[in-house]
Amino acid sequence: MTPELFFLLSSVLFSIGLVGLVARRNLFVLYMSIELMLSSVNLLLATFSKVFGDASGSVIALLMIAVIAAEAALFLALIIHMYRSSRTIDSDTFDRLKGQIND
């Protein structure tokens, strides 16, 4: 397979994630859109690493996977907290959560 196909796939995945991020209000869909965008960047880094014969892109992709795992734990904890406090996972409840923290 040629690198151009991987570049195209990465662009399509990033575009789908961006549309999901802008168009949706459900926090799980927002989370999955962010994860899709980060995964497309990892694919792009691995492809550049393979094309140029340098392992630095793959190393950065592995480090990004660790950051994505930490982000997943934090975001899911935030979703659980928001659901317990307001019984909804609609992203408009962020305003109410901000008001609860400041009190």
On the question of pLDDT at 97 being above 60, the answer is no
Of residues 44 and 103, more confidently modeled: 44
Query: What is the spatial distance between Cα 25 and Cα 53, in angstroms, rounded to a whole number?
Result: 41
- As a three-state string, the secondary structure of 7-52 is HHHHHHHHHHHHHHHHHCCEHHHHHHHHHHHHHHHHHHHHHHHHHH
DSSP-derived 3-state class of residue 89: coil
Q: What is the share, in percent, of the chain residues with pLDDT greater than 90?
A: 35
CATH code of the domain in which 38 resides: 1.10.287.3510
Q: Give the confidence band of 8 by pLDDT, cuts at 50, 70, 90.
A: very high
Torsions phi, psi for 53 (to 5 deg): 70, 25
**Domain extent at residue 35:** 3-102
Per the structure, the count of domains in the chain is 1
> The whole model's pTM is what?
0.78
User: 53-72, pLDDT tens digit by residue?
Assistant: 888 888 998 999 998 889 88
pLDDT at 33: 92
CA atoms within 13 A on the CB side of 30: 14
